[in-house]
Amino acid sequence: MTITIVGTGLIGGSLALDLRANGFAERLIGVEHTSDHAVEAIQKGLVDECMELAIACAQSDVVVLAVPVNPMLHMLPNVLDLIPANGVVIDMGSTKHALCKAVDNHPRRGRYVAAHPMAGTEYSGPSAAIPHLFHAKAAILCETERSDPDALKLAERLFKSLFMRMVYMNPAEHDVHAAYVSHISHITSYVLALTVLEKEKSEGNIFNMASGGFASTVRLAKSPPKMWRDIYEQNTENILDVLNAYIENMTQFRNLIQEGQFDHTFSLMEEANQIRRILPN
């Protein structure tokens, strides 16, 4: 099978690595907007060659879109026009509602499968691609009733070949849940980094002390702004909903400390410990 990967960064590149290794793809074509990235993707063996989007689409069984969600929004209808009759387009975007809406009335809507693999690291670009990124992770598939059965089946086969488990949702539901388990984590990390970096200016080098706990909480603050800027734009309402709840809870926690109600903070922390139920290890 010939697969085109549009955007051979962390997600697209890691996908290419595994689809080649497990034999799912016989030929991998990359589409990159900078020649630096194209050269890197080829040198790293992520793809066999790079070419223009239209030329790549015309000869592909599957086109995977793994670019930030704003350019994706403009690219998706175009790619649906460019693929062969039996071609399939799968996107890897972190938002789903706007994307599905963008092709709602597209005559070839059936050739598109809306997906979000719940996997990633804080790094980006072809150099960030790693094997097994998707292993045992969830692949969210949205609005699958709008995909042609053979297109959906192919997408499911692709994700299963990576040992992913399928989760089905409607796009609006996906965007709410993604705000809670992914988008909010990134914002709390970014803001933590900003706060601590600000303090460092006035207090000198306090990072001599930084240890595992701080590192893990602030890790996502290294994530690429380009990707996240677009997610905020496409998922504004849900993100605001979460952020408001978060700020409210944080303010309550602050007030309890301020008022010396430490036993009350104890109860809240016991409640928070219930996260073990969801993330046992």
What amino acid occupies position 174? H
Q: How far is the CB of 85 from its own copies (least distance, A)?
A: 34
Nearer to its own copies, 1 or 180 (CB): 180
> 274, exposed or middle or buried, with CB in 10 Å at 0-12, 13-18, 19+?
exposed
Q: Are 13 and 5 in contact (CB under 8 A)?
A: yes
Q: How far is the CB of 96 from its own copies (least distance, A)?
A: 12
Q: Are 103 and 61 in contact (CB under 8 A)?
A: no
H/E segment holding residue 29: strand 27-31
Residues of span 213-232 touching its own copies by CB under 8 A: 213-223, 225-226, 228-230, 232
Q: Give dist(CA 252, CA 191) in Å, integer.
A: 18
Nearer to its own copies, 22 or 251 (CB): 251
Residues of span 185-204 touching its own copies by CB under 8 A: 185-200, 203
The structure tokens listed for 82 are 């460019």
Q: Give dist(CA 157, CA 180) in Å, integer.
A: 28
Q: How far is the CB of 258 from its own copies (least distance, A)?
A: 6
Q: Cα–Cα distances in Å, from 174 out to 168, 178, 182, 232, 258?
A: 9, 6, 11, 15, 37
Residue from the set 59, 161, 170, 182 that interacts with its own copies by CB under 8 A: 182
Nearer to its own copies, 102 or 192 (CB): 192
Residues of span 78-137 touching its own copies by CB under 8 A: 118-122, 137
Task: Report if residue 233 touches its own copies, rule: CB under 8 A.
Answer: yes
Task: Report if residue 74 touches its own copies, rule: CB under 8 A.
Answer: no
Nearer to its own copies, 148 or 173 (CB): 173
Task: Report if residue 2 touches its own copies, rule: CB under 8 A.
Answer: no
Residue from the set 1, 167, 170, 172 that interacts with its own copies by CB under 8 A: 167
Task: Report if residue 170 touches its own copies, rule: CB under 8 A.
Answer: no
Q: How far is the CB of 46 from its own copies (least distance, A)?
A: 21
Q: Are 108 and 79 in contact (CB under 8 A)?
A: no
Q: Are 218 and 189 in contact (CB under 8 A)?
A: yes
Residues of span 240-269 touching its own copies by CB under 8 A: 240, 242-247, 249-251, 253-254, 257-258, 260, 262-263, 265-269
Nearer to its own copies, 32 or 230 (CB): 230
Task: Report if residue 274 touches its own copies, rule: CB under 8 A.
Answer: yes
The structure tokens listed for 275 are 């996260």
What amino acid occupies position 93? G
Nearest C-alpha neighbor of 114 from the set 32, 183, 68, 174: 174
- Please tell me the total number of residues recorded for the chain in this structure: 281
Nearer to its own copies, 78 or 251 (CB): 251
Nearer to its own copies, 45 or 266 (CB): 266
Nearest C-alpha neighbor of 72 from the set 97, 50, 48: 97
Nearer to its own copies, 111 or 186 (CB): 186
